[in-house]
């Protein structure tokens, strides 16, 4: 019981952090303060924001199969984009924005999405 509560709290906290990041970057893109990259005519940050919203929605759904489909589909997009951007950053450099402390944000996104996936996978069933 205690482990399930800790995992749930950590998972919700990381999902809300990701949602906040997605909202922040999407707002900067919407106001044209710092637009995010486009792929096939869509701003990537809007897709990531929608995926974090879907992962949060999946936490509310109690039907195990539907929850897993929604969560892992959205998570795969977020993790895939973070992994791709991190690989580009390693190979090309200057691909991803940096924090005020100089930390490359692609790596933060990759770590965050990786932890979210692990926590969802490891969480005990209710």
Whether the CB-CB separation of 80 and 113 falls below 8 Å is answered with no
Torsion angle of C-alpha atoms 25, 29, 30, 33, degrees rounded to 10: 110
pLDDT in tens, 38-83: 888 888 999 999 999 999 999 998 788 899 999 999 999 999 999 9
| First-to-final CA distance of the chain | 9
Say how far residue 61 (Cα) sits from the centre of its chain. 19
Question: Could you give the angle at the alpha carbon of 41 between the alpha carbons of 37 and 44, nearest 5°?
Answer: 40
Question: Which of 123, 122, 38 has the alpha carbon at shortest distance from 81?
Answer: 38
Domain of 86 in residue numbering reads as: 2-122
| Strands (E) located in the chain | 38-39, 42-43
- What is the number of other CB atoms lying within 10 angstroms of the CB of residue 31? 9
Residues 87 and 95: their CA atoms lie apart, in Å, by 9
Q: Dig out the tokens for 50 from the structure.
A: 């929608």
Whether 70 contacts 54, CB under 8 Å:
yes
Q: List, for residues 73-96, the tens digit of each pLDDT value.
A: 999 999 999 999 999 989 987 878
Count up the domains in the chain and report the number.
1
- Output the pTM of the full model: 0.89
């Amino acid at each position: 019981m205690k482990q399930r509560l800790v995992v749930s709290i950590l998972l919700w906290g990381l999902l809300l952090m990701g949602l906040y990041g997605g909202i922040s970057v999407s707002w900067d893109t919407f106001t044209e303060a710092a637009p995010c990259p486009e792929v096939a005519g869509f701003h990537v940050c809007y897709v990531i924001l929608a995926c974090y919203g879907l992962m949060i929605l999946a936490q509310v759904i109690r039907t195990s199969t539907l929850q897993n489909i929604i969560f892992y589909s959205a998570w795969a997009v977020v993790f895939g984009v973070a992994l791709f951007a991190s690989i580009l950053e390693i190979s090309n450099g200057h691909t991803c924005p940096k924090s005020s402390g100089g930390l490359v944000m692609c790596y933060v996104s990759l770590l965050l999405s990786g932890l979210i996936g692990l926590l969802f996978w490891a969480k005990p069933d209710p």
